[in-house]
Amino acid sequence: MLNPLKAIREWARVVKLGGKVVAIDGKWLSNGVDRLKWLVGNMVVAAYERRNPWRNRYRKDVCRMLLFYNGSSPEKIVEMFRVAGLAVTSVKDLMWLREAQRRNMPPVYWLIWGSKSYYFVEGFKGIKVDM
């Protein structure tokens, strides 16, 4: 998404009064250690599976245009919801999603994707909430 705030403002504009807007996102590569694990893990996948794990990635110029290409923090999404006039009623960590992925993927993929975090942000139009 090139302009997440613009999209959230549009969702807030078109949803009915009292309507709900939900965002599910995550943080993929939050620090240098995560990036290193991702790189090493992809090299292991390339050797083990004999395929290029980088083949279907976006071009670098496209990646630079995507504000949240590596994911975003829940705090950023909450702030954009508030700027768009939505009352944020809940922010939930979707740890169960990471656990389900981990149970169903080969161990080499744990190295690549094991530190991803997923979350859910819920906001409503036209209601007052203290959080």
113 backbone dihedrals φ, ψ, rounded to 5°: -110, 0
Predicted confidence at residue 65, as pLDDT, reads 67
Single pTM value for the model: 0.72
| Segment-wise mean pLDDT, segments of 10 residues, the chain, 131 residues | 88 95 81 74 80 72 68 89 94 87 77 76 84 52
DSSP string computed for 27-94: ES--SHHHHHHHHHHHHHHHHHH-S-TTTTPPPHHHHHH-TTTTB--HHHHHHHHHHTTEEEEEEEE-
